[in-house]
Structure 1
């Protein structure tokens, strides 16, 4: 019988290996040879999935968005609209090891995106996906009369910029996770009003 290959498991293994290389050596360290050494796969096995360096980097960039989406989808819903949204915002921050891993990889791509349009496009997809989630949530708040001083798009832009800034400060160890949480909650509290009367 032919051996059954778990493609999802193989993708997860490749993701871990590529991200590990990026975190240690930057994007310049991502080669098929280095990935073979890091993953334990042969070069031929890697090329079966990812035929060249460009494909590897595109794969790694795409996995950032997929991982972010998985983290957002895994958050339980409590029924408290403010807390539920705050929880979704917090999960995009590097408050623990898993969050640090994918945000360190994200930051490497952001740096490359300044001068490389392909990477800029890849990061743009992640930005648009997250921004779309924020706009939709703020749109719901606006319909309930809880967002008096912003349009949903303006609120999404403001909170997204805050998240990006907090993420960098956390990665550089300039603030603590608790400081980041307090700052984010305070900002959201200023934007959303009268939620306590929403029942």
Structure 2
């Protein structure tokens, strides 16, 4: 009887191996040979999923967006829309080990994107994915009267830029998680006003 291959599990294993290479050696350290050594897979098995270095890096970049999406979607809803949105924004920050891992990989791609259009395009996908989530949330707030002084796009751009800056400061250990949370909550409070508070 043929063995059943769990492709989702294999992709998860590859993600862990590729990301660990990037975190330790940067993007330059990502080769099929290094990935084979890190993952314990044969080169042939890797090529079945990712035929070359470009495919490996595109896969690694794509997994960043997927992780971000899963983390945002995993936040449970409550009766407090402000707190729910704040909680969703917080999980995009490197406030725990899981968040730190994927944001360290993200930062490696950001550095490469400065001089490489392919990496800039990959980062653009992640930016657009998150920006779409943020704009959609602010559009909902605007319809409900929470966003009196900004357009949803302007609010999304402002909060997205803040998240990027806080992420870098956290990764460099220049601020504490509590400082990041407080800064984010203060900024969101300036953007969103409950409609019955006026």
- TM-score w.r.t. length of structure 1: 0.97
1:29 aligns with 2:35: no
Q: Which residue in the other structure is 1:144 paired with?
A: 144
List alignment gaps of at least 5 residues for structure 2: none
Q: Which residue in the other structure is 1:115 paired with?
A: 115
1:12-53 deviation digits (Å, cap 9, x = unpaired): 000000000000000000000100010001111111111111
The offset of 1:97, in angstroms, is 0.2
Q: Map of 1:145-164 to 2, 5 A cutoff?
A: 145-164=145-164
SS at match of 1:174: coil
Q: Map of 1:28-107 to 2, 5 A cutoff?
A: 28-107=28-107
- Runs of 4+ in structure 1 deviating by more than 4 angstroms, as ranges, are none
Matched pairs, number: 197
CA-based RMSD of the aligned residues comes to 1.0
1:190 aligns with 2:187: no
SS at match of 2:3: coil
List alignment gaps of at least 5 residues for structure 1: none
Measure the CA separation in 2 of the matches of 1:194 and 1:58: 41
The offset of 1:115, in angstroms, is 1.2
